[in-house]
Amino acid sequence: MVGQLGDLSPEGSIAIGILVGLLSTSVQSLGLTLQRKSHILEDEKAPHVTRRPPHRRRRWQLGMAMFIISNLLGSTIQITTLPLPVLSTLQASGLVFNSICATLILGEPFTRWSLGGTCLVCAGALLIAIFGAIPEPAHNLDQLLVLLHRPPFILWMLGQAALVVTITATAASLARYSSPRVRLLRGLAFGCISGILSAHSLLVAKIAVELLLPHPPLARCAGAGAAILPPPRPQARVDFSPLPSRLLHI
């Protein structure tokens, strides 16, 4: 089921949702890049200079505020107006904006490998949007509960939980090492955890909006809450300096 904004047609609501999604994703990428810039500048200080925690840096504060506000406002509209395949596809646009911000703000090289990887991710997102858009009727609570009790879904969720626990344990075991390669692996591990949990948060939010869509105030509250629920990027606790900025928002 796709929600509508006011008296707009479903097509108009989807167009508004896509525009808002692209705008909010670009602002999120800019916010993430500013946070990474803050980390890089702090790491470049001399050893005898006291390093400030992230929450005391103006650039980091600005980046975090941009990320949270754009995520809150953008997700509230997108979750209500867009079908899940389109909503998932829009998230891949963050890779493009990340590449642009990393090149312009951080001076990271944009190589042919970067171009190839960006094209592959965008092509995958396009295929998901084309072949994953299976029209289905809206479900009520009883129907959703039946679907949630199906063995394949339970096995899938258990597998996802086991994967998150395994990745977390592996990243924790690597914390005592400080080589650049290990730091890169830890950054990728936390990125995988964030992506998995964010995807499930998005699914739960879409279900909540579908159930509450007949009650617009409740649906808006559910969408706003879901915008806050996705786990925050663990940049404040993990050194992401070896991790390319364009990977932080995939």
The per-residue pLDDT for range 73-83, each reduced to its tens digit, is 888 888 877 77
Report the pLDDT value the prediction gives residue 189, as an integer from 0 to 100. 92
In a domain? residue 144 = yes
In a domain? residue 123 = yes
In a domain? residue 3 = no
Report the pLDDT value the prediction gives residue 59, as an integer from 0 to 100. 92
Comparison of pLDDT for 104 and 229, the residue scoring more = 104
Residue-wise pLDDT for 80-133, tens only, equals 777 777 777 777 778 788 888 888 898 888 888 888 887 887 787 777 766 755
Residue-wise pLDDT for 33-83, tens only, equals 999 999 898 888 888 888 888 888 999 999 999 999 998 888 888 887 777
Model pTM?
0.66
d(Cα 190, Cα 167) in Å, to the nearest integer?
Answer: 8
Per-residue pLDDT band at 244 (split at 50, 70, 90): low
In a domain? residue 148 = yes
**Where in the sequence is the domain holding 40, given as residue range(s)?**
10-247
In a domain? residue 1 = no
Query: Do residues 219 and 3 touch, judged by C-beta distance below 8 A?
Result: yes
In this prediction, what percent of the chain has a pLDDT beyond 70? 75
Per-residue pLDDT band at 237 (split at 50, 70, 90): very low
- How many independent structural domains does the chain possess? 1
Per-residue pLDDT band at 222 (split at 50, 70, 90): very low
In a domain? residue 5 = no
In a domain? residue 2 = no
In a domain? residue 20 = yes
